[in-house]
Chain A
Amino acid sequence: MVSADPIIEIDNLHVRFGPQQVLRDITLSVPRGQTLAIIGESGCGKTVLLKSIIGLIRPQQGHVEFDNQRMDRLREREIAEQRTRFGFVFQNSALFDSMTVAENILFPLKQHRPKERARFQGELLERLAEVGLPTSVLSKRPAELSGGMRKRVGLARALIMQPEVLLYDEPTTGLDPIVSDVINELMMRTRDSYSVTSIIVTHDMKSACKVADRVVMLYPLTRLETDERQTIFDGEPEETELSSDRRVTQFVRGEAGDRLLEMRDRGVVDEA
């Protein structure tokens, strides 16, 4: 259930890498229990925004508040403690390739709850069943698994600490349509059974429409004037199709539009 009380508040966030500004004046409030999809084309700063939320990237200006606490004012140890309340599913799963699947899934528990060793096995099997993987994968190394299986192991690892917020970075990218739908289904099931707040960074509109309650679209700063806002859409998934902003409707429908003209001007597309 979505509540009115925000769990994450992003205020006036600016991020730059050297001379390149990636995020400008992002202000966003995520209510507890909401499933938010952040959409936008590659390079618009979606992943940077996601990583800024848990402090993996430090903003040059602005801040993120999690559960009424400013992340930038916390000490290293306190940030680490707060991060255990998050689950992060990485784009390429980011499983530790020197460990087995079981060691990967149990890693956060071993690090933060070493004294509760007795319940490790039960938790492991439960999480594995939740993501629909057989126990035979437990002794395998991540390199021996398919992309979809790795993603599911990544989700099981993110769920093991029973997080309050789940952050998904491109959960369906690089997967075939069937496995993508399995992942969508898993995200919905997780939302329902754990009542977590989810933030999904994606450019898969089908996934965003199926899973999310709310969609926010970011636009690359390189294509914006200095006075334009980077958040060009914020609303329900169904409203994206009806948006008066052509940039939004083109993205949702997957139409290149002006980009083809740009490419033609640069001589990439042969007019003949």
Chain B
Amino acid sequence: MSTGADYSSPGLPRRGVLGAIYNSFADLGAWILTAIETLGDMTLFAWRTVVWLFTRLPRRATLVSNMYQIGVLSLPVVALTGTFIGMVLAVQSFTQFRSFGLETQLGGVINKSMLRELGPVLAATMLAGRVGSAMAAELGTMRVTEQIDALSSMGTNPIQYLVVPRFLSCLLLIPALTVMAVFMGVVGGAGYCIFVLDIDIHHYTSNANKFVENWDLFYGVTKSIFFGATIGVVSCYRGFHCEPGAEGVGSAATTAFVQSFVAIIVLDLFLSILLDTIYLMIWSDAPMMLGA
């Protein structure tokens, strides 16, 4: 149950054009205040989760069952998504690269895009839908049916018991699933280029090796660790703050996905800037972009 403040516009709505403008500003203000409050609340929630993570590790059985749900059961869909993204990249880039006679360079383009951007972002988006919504709906149902209150009433901290294993599973397994998606994308892209588009296997692989560095793998996996943590925190937070009723649970699941997705996209930009800056600081004379 929330005892939070109510920021809806004070008093009766004003009439007329000026009144409408006034009301829009008041509503916008209320929305911004609520958003800031939610962000602060979510940060505190994440902090408490991290504190519990270091205070007491979850039991092995709880962790394993969460890892199975989050990791193992997501494997087929993530692998399938990765394969198709790799193949689509091959189809999309082939015509343009062939017009310059650079089709043998496709391996570099596909693999670099998969490792740095498409693999982590699309796998995280897919998992925000599959894992995040399910976690929010499950925890939301537990909130609505007082199961979370029951846990607290028995002296068990619900963050420690419910959130920490889910957070840890997301933190560890979403990067692992991303690696799987990237691997399947690389395989899918290579398969399509070599067997369907008839690109020479030797040139394809040697170009792929030339352009892709270990840093690219580190780049993608680092991003996916942040994405995993974000999905874990946002989804569990939405489940814990679920409104009563079936509508509340549905809305918690939807909001968990939407907010995770927005957070992933925003984080992606800032992480890309940060990681590129770090790269330039370490290897200032190295080329940043493919073919540069």
In the bound complex, CA of A99 to CA of B93 (Å) = 51
- Chain A residue numbers with a CB within 8 Å of B5 are 18
Question: Which of B39-47, B154-162, B188-196 is near enough to bind chain A?
Answer: B154-162
Q: Is A108 close to B, CB under 8 A?
A: yes
Of the candidates B3, B142, B157, B161, the one whose C-beta lies within 8 Å of that of A76 is B157
In chain A, residues 23-57, which have Cβ atoms closer than 8 Å to a Cβ of chain B?
51, 54, 56-57
B150 touches A16 (CB 8 A): no
Residue from A17, A19, A90, A94 with most neighbouring chain B CB atoms (10 Å):
A94
Q: Is B152 close to A, CB under 8 A?
A: yes
Return the CB mask of B135-171 against A: 1 if under 8 Å, else 0: 0000000100111011011111100010000000000
Of the candidates B3, B4, B146, the one whose C-beta lies within 8 Å of that of A92 is B146
- Chain A residue numbers with a CB within 8 Å of B6 are 18-19
Of the candidates B149, B155, B157, B161, the one whose C-beta lies within 8 Å of that of A51 is B149
- Chain B residue numbers with a CB within 8 Å of A112 are 155
Of the candidates A18, A54, A92, A167, the one whose C-beta lies within 8 Å of that of B145 is A92
A16 touches B155 (CB 8 A): no
- Chain B residue numbers with a CB within 8 Å of A91 are 146
Q: Secondary structure of the B side of the interface?
A: loop
Q: Is A219 close to B, CB under 8 A?
A: no
B265: shortest Cβ distance to chain A, in Å? 32
In the bound complex, CA of A165 to CA of B142 (Å) = 24
Q: Is B1 close to A, CB under 8 A?
A: yes
A96 touches B152 (CB 8 A): no
Q: Is B284 close to A, CB under 8 A?
A: no
Question: Which of A81-89, A204-212, A225-233 is near enough to bind chain B?
Answer: A81-89
Q: Is B92 close to A, CB under 8 A?
A: no
Closest A residue to B161 by beta carbon equals A111
A107: shortest Cβ distance to chain B, in Å? 7
In the bound complex, CA of A141 to CA of B155 (Å) = 23
B171: shortest Cβ distance to chain A, in Å? 22
Q: Is B2 close to A, CB under 8 A?
A: yes
Closest B residue to A60 by beta carbon equals B3
Closest B residue to A51 by beta carbon equals B149
A94 touches B145 (CB 8 A): yes
In the bound complex, CA of A56 to CA of B149 (Å) = 7
Of the candidates A57, A60, A111, the one whose C-beta lies within 8 Å of that of B154 is A111
- Chain A residue numbers with a CB within 8 Å of B149 are 51, 56, 88, 90, 94
In the bound complex, CA of A96 to CA of B6 (Å) = 33
A80 touches B157 (CB 8 A): yes
In chain A, residues 147-187, which have Cβ atoms closer than 8 Å to a Cβ of chain B?
157, 161, 167
In the bound complex, CA of A259 to CA of B184 (Å) = 68
B2 touches A111 (CB 8 A): no
Return the CB mask of A91-135 against B: 1 if under 8 Å, else 0: 110111100000000011001100000000000000000000000
List 30 interface pairs A-B (beta carbons < 8 Å), by A numbering.
A17-B1, A17-B3, A18-B2, A18-B6, A19-B6, A56-B149, A56-B153, A57-B3, A80-B155, A80-B156, A81-B155, A82-B155, A88-B150, A88-B153, A88-B154, A91-B146, A94-B145, A94-B149, A94-B150, A95-B150, A96-B147, A97-B147, A107-B156, A108-B154, A108-B156, A111-B156, A111-B161, A112-B155, A157-B154, A167-B153
